[in-house]
Amino acid sequence: MAKKKVVSIEDRIPRLKQERKKKANRRLIFYLSVFFVLISIIVYLQSPLSHVNTIEVKGNSYTEDEQIKQQSGISENTNIWMINEQDVVEAISSNSIIQSVDVNRNLPWTIEIEVTEFRYVGYIKKDGNFFPVLGNGSVLTELKQQTTGGDAPIMINFSNEKYVEKMAGQLKKLPESILKLISEIHWKPTDDNKNKILLYMNDGYLVDGTMREFAKKMKAYPSIVSQIKPGTKGIVHIGVGAYFEKFNQAAGNTDKKKNNGNGSSE
């Protein structure tokens, strides 16, 4: 039977000391690494390296990039980690043109601001100037223009705020393709019908209608016009029912109403 090798305590002590030294060194290296990482983070946060270098604005058509940047409150001296995204959203959303805002950090030093604007659905004409009207009915009196951009119809004689909002709400529902066909919208209220409107179209037709369910009824306009003989002009009625009436025929009907002493219409 083989004898077990006996290791004396004197032989084991150097080995134990060496292992303890290695563990102590590893622990020291770990603590030093953590320390230097923390120091690096603190230096980074206090240095210009953590400042915003670029602000990218996307989605805006009517609002200038610089205006949105100023409203955000973010500058090149702003620490990218100290930005409160909700505060930025609320600040930019105070602009009546802005419908929604999304703010994102694109490391290492870029802030991306993506906005959704309310669409211009019309222009109010007043004192020879034009003021954009948003889909929520807001009239942007601070954006006075000498001309329109041709991207929305001119709303004429809309002197009542209630009906401006009502008309804007209907225009907002229209497809872009139909909205761009409308040149002017004249408010023609009567004692019997306060919602009466007359539209001048870019293709030469007139549209006689009402604000009630205007967007729904106006969607039939392209179909009605496509059935009209080329070169024939007149009035498309979209009130009670939808039909086309030639200009000479419409004039004859108007004369008949005048002769009968009744100039009102639905």
Verify that 97 and 181 share a domain, yes or no: no
d(CA 135, CA 155): 13
Long-range contacts, stretch 190-198, CB < 8 angstroms, 24+ apart = 190/264, 190/265, 191/264, 192/264, 192/266, 193/265, 193/266, 194/163, 195/163, 195/166, 196/265, 196/266, 197/167
- pTM greater than the 0.75 cutoff: no
For 88-112, the pLDDT digits (tens) are 999 999 988 898 999 999 888 899 9
Verify that 97 and 129 share a domain, yes or no: no
Banded model confidence at residue 193, pLDDT cuts 50, 70, 90: very high
Within-domain flag for 41: no
Q: What is the CATH number of the domain that holds 60?
A: 3.10.20.310
Within-domain flag for 139: yes
Q: What is the CATH number of the domain that holds 143?
A: 3.40.50.10960
Within-domain flag for 127: yes
Verify that 241 and 141 share a domain, yes or no: yes
Is 69 or 1 the better-scoring residue by pLDDT?
Answer: 69
Q: Which of 217, 181, 225 is nearest to 201 (CA)?
A: 181
d(CA 125, CA 40): 61
pLDDT over 50 at 38, yes or no:
yes
Verify that 147 and 97 share a domain, yes or no: no
Residue with tokens 């209220």: 189
Within-domain flag for 241: yes
Task: Judge whether 51 and 78 are in contact, CB under 8 Å.
Answer: yes
Verify that 87 and 206 share a domain, yes or no: no
Banded model confidence at residue 11, pLDDT cuts 50, 70, 90: low
Within-domain flag for 11: no
CB atoms within 10 A of CB 222: 13
d(CA 222, CA 217): 11
Task: Judge whether 242 and 218 are in contact, CB under 8 Å.
Answer: no
Range of the domain at 170: 120-259
Q: What is the pLDDT of residue 266?
A: 40
H helical segments located in the chain: 9-46, 65-72, 85-93, 161-172, 176-179, 214-218, 221-226, 247-259
Within-domain flag for 25: no
Verify that 247 and 124 share a domain, yes or no: yes
Task: Judge whether 139 and 133 are in contact, CB under 8 Å.
Answer: yes
End-to-end, the C-alpha distance of the chain in Å comes to 123
Of 64, 84, 117, the domain-final residue: 117
Within-domain flag for 9: no
- Residue range 50-62: mean pLDDT, rounded: 89
Verify that 141 and 223 share a domain, yes or no: yes
Verify that 140 and 172 share a domain, yes or no: yes
Verify that 171 and 248 share a domain, yes or no: yes
